[in-house]
Amino acid sequence: GVNPGLSLKDEVKTAVRAALDSGYRHIDTAYSYKNEDAIGEELQEYLKNGKVKREDLFIVTKLGLIHMEPKQVRRSIEMSLKKLQLDYVDLYLIHLPVTLEYDGDDENLFPLTEDGKWKTAEKSDLLQTWKALEELVDLGLTKSIGVSNFNISQVERICKIAKHKPVINQVECNIYWPQNELFEACKKLGVTITSYASFGSPGRPGEYKEAEEPKPMEDPIIQRIAKKHGKTTAQVLLRNLLQREMIVIPKSVSPERILTNIQVCMRHKNKFQNDLTNKPAFI
C-alpha cells in the first residue's frame, strides 16, 4: 500500500495518480489525515475515465478520534465517504484506542488542553464504539472493519464481543519494532497485521521521537543485503514484512519510490492480500 499521509493536496493527488498508474489498488487514508478529498477527486477521475473499476479498488479509511462516541460514528464515516466521493469503503478502522473531546468542530481534529496535551474525553467505551462500527457493516457503508494501534488486550476484548470480527490491526512495525508477540496473538484470533512505518518514521514530529531513534533505512545489515541483491533498502525492509505474511502500506508521495515499492509487492504472493483484496496496497 501507499500512504500520502499529511502531505499537501497536490502532492497527495500526484501520489494517488502514480499509485494507480503503477498498479496499486489498495489505498489507505484517514479522517484525521485531511487528505480524503484529494484522494476522492483522483479516484473519481480514474473511475469516470474507465481506468479502474470500483470493484477493483480496496479503499481504507479511519474513524476520527473526536468521533469515537458511538452516536458520532455513522456521521463520521458519512463525512469521509462524501470527501472520497464513494458509496462505501472496503475497510473502516478505529484509528486509535483514544477518544478525544468533541467540541462540535469537525475540523478541530486534535483538541488540546492548556498545557498542550491531547484533550481526552471524560468517558469512552471501546466496546460500544466497536458495536457502532458493526452497524456500519450492516448498513453497507463499509465491507469490513478493523482496528489500528491496538494492543493484545484491546484486540482480545473486541473479539470476545464482536458480531463482525476485526479483520485487521494496523500498527507500526519494522525491523526495530517487529511486533512479534502482537503478531502471534492476532494470528491466533484470526486478525491480520498491517504494517505502517515500515521504514521507521523519519517524518514523525520531534516531540514523538526518541533522542537517538534508529533509522531502518540506514541499518548497515539492511544496506549490505540490498547491495548484494541489487535492491533498494526500502525493498529489503518491505520484503522482510511480506515474508512474515503482513500487509505493508509504506508512506510515500514520490512517484519513483511508489513504483519501486510495488515491484516488491507484485512479486511476493502474500496469502492474505490475495485472499482478501487481491490488490496491491497503497497507503
The one-digit pLDDT tens for each residue of the chain (283 residues) are: 555 555 689 999 999 999 999 999 999 999 999 999 999 999 999 999 999 999 999 999 999 999 999 999 999 999 999 999 999 999 999 999 999 999 999 999 999 999 999 999 999 999 999 999 999 999 999 999 999 999 999 999 999 999 999 999 999 999 999 999 999 999 999 999 999 999 997 666 666 667 678 899 999 999 999 999 999 999 999 999 999 999 999 888 889 999 999 988 666 544 334 444 444 454 4
End-to-end CA distance of the chain: 4
Candidates 5, 21, 1, 25; CA nearest to 242 is 1
| pLDDT in the model for residue 212 | 77
Number of Cβ within 10 Å of residue 73's Cβ equals 25
Rounded to whole angstroms, the maximal C-alpha distance in the chain is 55
Report the C-alpha gap between 53 and 162 in whole angstroms. Answer: 31
- Asked whether the beta carbons of 46 and 94 are under 8 A apart, the reply is no
User: How many residues does the structure list for the chain?
Assistant: 283
pTM of the full predicted structure? 0.90
User: Which residues are tagged catalytic?
Assistant: 33
CB neighbours of residue 202 within 10 Å = 13
164 is in an annotated binding site: no
Contact criterion met (CB below 8 Å) for 94 and 62: yes
Instruction: Note the pLDDT of residue 213.
Output: 81
Distance CA 219, CA 143 (A): 39
pLDDT at 251: 86
Q: What CA–CA distance (Å, rounded) separates 36 from 28?
A: 10
